[in-house]
Amino acid sequence: MNTFVERLKYAMEQADLKQSALSELTGISKAAISQYLSGKNTPSLERIKALADATGVTFDFLMGHGAAPLKEVPPSVKKISVKEAARCMGKSDQFVRIGLQRGLLPFGNAVPGTGSKWIYYINPAKFREYVGAEAFNSFFGLTA
């Protein structure tokens, strides 16, 4: 995995994100993401940071430095809902929604959807790091 294209594809696969979802999370157009994935264009440093944050890898990894991050979360935990995150944390759904909308919680993103609705993404690896492996594993019924 030497090129930016290979690393971005890997990061998207690990985060289980399609181009459209990545576009919604980052605010980068689907056309631009398509160009990045085809190698026709290279994103700015600011956009690389947004892509790294949305996919749960480091900026350095996307820039070609370092090995692929180890997958810390079992494949059985691909998506975490706001309700699950709130229950795991012992907080209300509203706490998690507002925290994601305002960028206060470091484990996910929220982007405006249609009307007054929001679209939420919670990165399982970052969420596990935030709540701690023991609480995460216990809540999702995983063995350490």
User: Pick from 89, 123, 124, 130: which is nearest to 109 by CA?
Assistant: 123
Taking 80 as the threshold, does the pLDDT of residue 66 lie above it? no
4-62 under CATH 1.10.260.40, yes or no:
yes
Residue pair 73/126 in contact (Cβ under 8 Å)? The answer is no
What's the pLDDT tens digit per position in 26-48? 899 999 999 999 999 999 999 99
Taking 80 as the threshold, does the pLDDT of residue 75 lie above it? no
Segment 84-90 mean pLDDT: 95
> Can you say how many angstroms the Cα of residue 15 is from the centroid of all Cα atoms in its chain?
6
Q: What is the pLDDT of residue 17?
A: 83
> Can you say how many angstroms the Cα of residue 53 is from the centroid of all Cα atoms in its chain?
6
| Weakest mean pLDDT among 17-21, 98-102, 112-116 | 112-116
pLDDT band at 100 (very low <50, low <70, confident <90, very high): very high
Provide the 8-state DSSP code for 118: E
Q: Name, in order, each residue with C-beta under 8 angstroms of 45's C-beta and a sequence gap of 6 or more.
A: none
d(CA 92, CA 96): 7
Average pLDDT value for the chain: 86
Every domain of the chain with CATH number 1.10.260.40 lies at 4-62
Share of the chain above pLDDT 90, in %: 40
pTM above 0.95, yes or no: no
Q: What is the pLDDT of residue 90?
A: 95
